[in-house]
Chains A and B, each alone.
Chain A
Amino acid sequence: GNSVTQMEGPVTLSEEAFLTINCTYTATGYPSLFWYVQYPGEGLQLLLKATKADDKGSNKGFEATYRKETTSFHLEKGSVQVSDSAVYFCAQARGGSNYKLTFGKGTLLTVNP
C-alpha cells in the first residue's frame, strides 16, 4: 500500500547548520507530496508541496524536490534558526481524487543557539 517513511529523530543542530530530513514514499502512480510542520502545542501547518516529478517546493528557506527515480522528497534548509525547532511531517496524497493524506511518523528537530 501507499506509505511514507521519514528519518527518525530527534535531530539536534546548532544554529546556522545545514538541515536534511529524509523522506521516501511508496505509491501507485505519482502522488502529490508535502511537508507539514508542527510547532509545540499546535496543529500542523503546510510548509511546502510538490505535485509532480522534478517539482521543487520551497518556503521560509526550506526546499524539497520531488524525485521520481528515487521516490524521495527530502527536506533541506541551508541555515537553520532556533525558531525552526518543531516536528516535521512528510506526507503524500493518495486516492484517485486526492482525498486522503498519508503522513510519515514525524521528525523532531531541535536547534540550539
Chain B
Amino acid sequence: DGGITQSPKYLFRKEGQNVTLSCEQNLNHDAMYWYRQDPGQGLRLIYYSQIVNDFQKGDIAEGYSVSREKKESFPLTVTSAQKNPTAFYLCASTPQGRPGNEKLFFGSGTQLSVL
C-alpha cells in the first residue's frame, strides 16, 4: 500500500543533542512538508520541499534543518538550537506541491520529548 512512513513513533532528546526524524513516502509525490503540532496551537509549517535538492523555510524554521536528496525521503533534524522541541511532528506530501489544489497526505507522526 502507498503511503507516508514516519519513524520513530516516539523519540527522546537529551539537552544539547541533535536528533533526526525520518519521513519516507512511496506515493511518487514531488512535494513534502514538515509540520509541528503543539496542544491548542494547530499545525505550523517548519520546512517544505517542492522538488528534489530544493527546500524552503516555513513559518518556524529556526532550530531545524532538512535535506531532500531523494524524492521519497525528507528527514528533519531538530538541532540543539531549538530550545523548545517537545511537540508532535507530522510529515506530509502532495503530488505537485500545491496543497491548495491537492490533498495533503500525512504520516502518523513522531512525538518528540526532551529528557
Contact with B along A46-87 (1 / 0, CB 8 A): 100001000000000000000000000000000000000000
Q: Which of B40-91 contact A (CB under 8 A)?
A: 40-45, 48, 50, 58, 90
Question: Which residue of the partner chain, among A94, A98, A99, A103, contacts B43 with CB atoms under 8 Å?
Answer: A103
Interface size on A, as a range, is 20 to 34
B104 at the interface (CB under 8 A from A): yes
In the complex the two chains form, is A99's CB within 8 Å of B109's CB? no
Q: Which of A19-35 contact B (CB under 8 A)?
A: 31-32
Nearest B residue to A98, CB-CB: B100
Contact A42 B42, CB 8 Å, known A93-B99, A98-B100: no
Among B50, B90, B98, B99, which residue has the most Cβ atoms of chain A within 10 A?
B99
In the complex the two chains form, is A106's CB within 8 Å of B42's CB? yes
Residues of B at the A interface (CB closer than 8 Å) are 4, 40-45, 48, 50, 58, 90, 92, 97-101, 103-104, 106-109
Can you name 28 A-B pairs with beta carbons within 8 Å? A4-B42, A31-B100, A41-B108, A42-B106, A42-B109, A43-B106, A43-B107, A44-B43, A44-B104, A44-B106, A45-B106, A46-B104, A89-B42, A93-B99, A93-B100, A95-B100, A97-B98, A98-B98, A98-B99, A98-B101, A99-B48, A100-B100, A103-B42, A103-B44, A104-B42, A105-B40, A105-B41, A106-B40
